[in-house]
Chain A
Amino acid sequence: MNSVPIEDIVKAFDLEVIYMSDNPKIGITTSDINRPGLQFAGFFDYFASERVQVVGKTEMTYLNGLDPQTRFERLCQFFKYDIPCLIVSRGMEVPDYLVEAAKKYDRPVFRSQLVTTNLVSKLTSYLSSALAPRITRHGVLVDVYGVGVFLMGESGIGKSETALELIKRGHRLVADDAVEIKKVADNRLIGEAPELIRHFMEIRGIGIIDIKAMYGVGAVINNKPLDLVIQMELWDDNKEYDRLGLDEEYIEILGVKLPKIVLPVRPGRNLAIIVEVAARNFRLKNMGYHAARELDNRLNALIQMNREG
Chain B
Amino acid sequence: MLEAKFTIEHQAGLQARPAALFVQVASRFVSRIWIAKGLKKVNAKSIMGVMSLGVRQGDEVTIIIEGEDESKAMSAIQRLIASNFSEVPHNNASS
Contact = CB atoms under 8 A, between A and B. Distances in A.
Interface of A: 136, 138, 155, 176-178, 193-194, 196-197, 200-202, 208
B51 interface: yes
B51 A155 contact: no
B48 A177 contact: yes
A196 B46 contact: no
Interface in B1-49: 16, 27, 40-43, 45-49
Contacts of B49: 136, 138, 177-178
The residue in B16, B42, B53 that gathers the most chain A C-beta atoms within 10 A of its C-beta is B42
B48 A155 contact: no
B52 interface: yes
B42 A138 contact: yes
A155 B42 contact: no
Interface of B: 16, 27, 40-43, 45-49, 51-54
27 contacts: A136-B40, A136-B49, A138-B42, A138-B43, A138-B46, A138-B49, A155-B27, A155-B43, A155-B45, A176-B48, A177-B46, A177-B47, A177-B48, A177-B52, A178-B48, A178-B52, A194-B40, A194-B52, A196-B51, A196-B52, A196-B54, A197-B48, A197-B52, A200-B48, A201-B48, A208-B16, A208-B47
A200 B49 CA distance: 11
B48 A202 contact: yes
A70 B40 CA distance: 48
A178 B42 contact: yes
Nearest to B32: A154
Given A138-B49, A155-B27, A201-B48, A178 B43 contact: yes
B17 to A, nearest CB: 12
A194 B40 CA distance: 10
Nearest to B40: A136
Contacts of A201: 48
Contacts of B48: 176-178, 197, 200-202
A220 to B, nearest CB: 14
B48 to A, nearest CB: 3
A178 B54 contact: no
B42 A136 contact: yes
B8 to A, nearest CB: 16
B46 A136 contact: no
A200 B48 CA distance: 8
Nearest to A200: B48
A177 B44 CA distance: 11
A255 to B, nearest CB: 17
A210 to B, nearest CB: 12
Contacts of A176: 48
A155 B24 CA distance: 12
Contacts of A194: 40, 52-53
Contacts of A178: 42-43, 46, 48-49, 52
Contact of A136 (B27, B41, B45): B41
Nearest to A134: B39
Nearest to B16: A208
A90 B40 CA distance: 37
